[in-house]
Structure 1
Amino acid sequence: MTESPVCLADPHLRPSAAPPPDGPREVVILGSTGSIGTQAVDVVTRHPDRFRVTGLSAAGGRLSLLAEQAHRLRVRTVAVARADLAGALREALRALYGAEPLPEILAGPDAAGELAARPCHTVLNGITGSIGLAPTLAALEAGHVLALANKESLIVGGPLVTALAKPGQIVPVDSEHSALFQALLGGTRGEVDKLVVTASGGPFRGRGRAELAAVTPAEALAHPTWAMGPVITVNSATLVNKGLEVIEAHLLYGIPFDRIEVVVHPQSYVHSMVQFTDGSTLAQAGPPDMRLPIALGLGWPDRVPGSAPPVDWTRAHTWEFFPLDTDAFPSVPLARHVGSLGGTAPAVFNAANEECVDAFLAGLLPFTGIVDTVAAVVEERDTVPSGTSLTLPDVLEAETWARRRARELTGTATGAEQEKQEKTA
């Protein structure tokens, strides 16, 4: 990449003392009914003296849960991504609120972005996928602290996000990047030799490429450590998720790709490490519980006591580390290549992967075909080059093209797309 990455998540900006409390910190949770969102709700409800949730958003697949969260947290605003569900959401809320006034309802594809710009202190973006980009930009433009679990928005948005974000405005919520964020406190920027991102290895650790060809969706969704949504779980099985995290680490901390390493750690207790120039390595360890990085993202610069049970050091533990098998899992080197290209290449990579995961889950694409197809789509696309003035329309156009091309290659294209392909063939 020709541009200089900005160190957005800078742990050294931590104040020497927390500012005087002025009441609970106002928080907006985007993607509140998903895995990250429900755990964030758990964190804030156990600490009402620290946090007050003012707004919630969700895609709309779990309306009853969204309504229950809104009622329990007494939020000001509820947003749903599907405009046609506004009436159903209102009815679900009315069943809980009775004669009490309902919260404001926002509905439609821009609802989460509108909510992210509303007055608050911190926006937790727990949306899955690149649709989280617009809310990320809205939260940053409004000057809010962004607790970022939606890695895709940073990856596909790249320069758009870095241009808006002030140093320290983004606090990472991915467990790996939260670990790096904490370990980086152990030295200055110039003392960092490399970042070591850990991976559980997913459900297929130790299998060769030939053994992966017949993997079923049910097997891919059986992650040995983490409970996550289907897309992220499949991404963890292909290690695409780890490739995305390498790009994210580069953008967050400004470390070149050749100094970001991936190592397999099946137990998932060491979340990532920072190796310093003197040979010392600092690791952040904790149980595989996302409430830890969520609480740190919401509470920074302070830790939130009792966020999750700590490691029990009275018991014996064996923690293993293995090199990554890039032949069986080529997604990480592909992501390094994509990240080095910059421009719209990460958007193409991510969008094509989302389509390929859908095709795999529908039984229309073999497991190994996910990354193979993504690589083919990336190879075909002439991306907006790194160093040019990337725009949001550039990103959206690249994503649209990548999704369409991935559907063509996987045989999941719509009739109109197939007809267009035949005419241009």
Structure 2
Amino acid sequence: MVRNFLPRSSTYVGGYRGKQALKNLYEPEDCMSASGKQNNPTRLGLVVGIGASAGGLQAFTTFFAQLPPDSGMAFVLVQHLSPDHESALPEILGRIAPIPVVVAQRGMRVEPNRVYVIPPDATLTIKDSCLLVVKPAPERAHRRPIDSFFTSLAEDQGDNAVSIVLSGVGSDGSIGLAAVKESGGLTIAQAGFDHHAMTGMPQNAAATGLVDFVMQVEEMPAKLIEYRDYLALVADRKDSEGTRTDAAEHLATVLAVLRAKTGHDFSKYKIRTVTRRIQRRMQVLQVDNVPAYIKHLQEDPVEPELLFRDMLIGVTEFFRDSEAFNGLSAAIGAFLDRSPDAQTFRIWAPACSTGEEVYSLAITLQELIEARGAVSPSKFSAQTSMIMPSSSLERGGTSVSAESHRSVSSAGFLKRTARSARTADPHNVCLFRS
């Protein structure tokens, strides 16, 4: 059996990936303001994507009741909606929010001080600051509208992006939130009364280790205002690509402290990438200058680990490189056909981020073996930088075909066979020992 993997892309459309899914559905010249007038692109302030599912209405109303009318931000709301009924959310929020609330339409340009609400049975993304609405939405098993929007928001707005995960069931939003953080944006998840992430979507988002703030909804608007003001304060310290120009002279010191605290040396990494990661931590903390951040890095027991995680942000997924996995599946299948009595397979997967790659290898090998009615123990040695959250295991099948999703989920394969076959070593190839 040769598995056919879905094509990889930076943009999600439900469970299916691929820019081809959006081909011919978007033309930049069609971009209009909410009033219907064609307009030219202008530099936006923060664009805040907010995702919610069950219980989202209460969270939305609480959020906008605390928002000032002149924040200068644009808000895009993505809620899990019934595809068969019109949503009352725009009307309800229109009575509460201090700024206009409109239903998102294809080609609508995002403007400051305005709220855009996803329509029912649709996938909503953003490109060149214009909204793209694709109907109908994918079938329920492949529908991840919050991930779809967050991922496109990260690609389109970079460090101008903010993703907020509010109450809801499941893990939608966790993948897109990682993309926002990788692009330099801000990530927030809703806390309950005990100030811990709420069960469901916020908890799964927080479990990725990529959420900057876990807070109650009524506190979020004030945090966004603080963040907006800080970005305005340091804007003149950035070059044309948005990288701080005052960081270079202190870079060696920051990396030396990080190595002393964590044992990891980033001195050979790309200077711009490392600088942007340090800059992102400074933005989250709203630290005015690099020497002040160095002092914080030296004295705060948690900050070295947080910076380390930011350095290693990676947006990964199951079966990410479809061509590679198709080729690997064919090669392993041919080997099994030639050597049906093969004993133990040993597979080393170095630098595999949070582990999706090694689980993908385990699934591929196990399916090939089972298709031939054989039993062959497999041992996977994976070098990972962070532990993959359980929410990733739950959504493992969303990266593959519907048929494979059913077989993986129903058999509990990810949590049973693949996990038992996997060992993890530190994310450092130089330290690896077989």
Under a length normalisation based on structure 1, what TM-score does the superposition of the two structures give? 0.31
Q: Tell me: higher relative CO, structure 1 or 2? Use CA pairs within 8 A at least 6 residues apart.
A: 1
Under a length normalisation based on structure 2, what TM-score does the superposition of the two structures give? 0.31
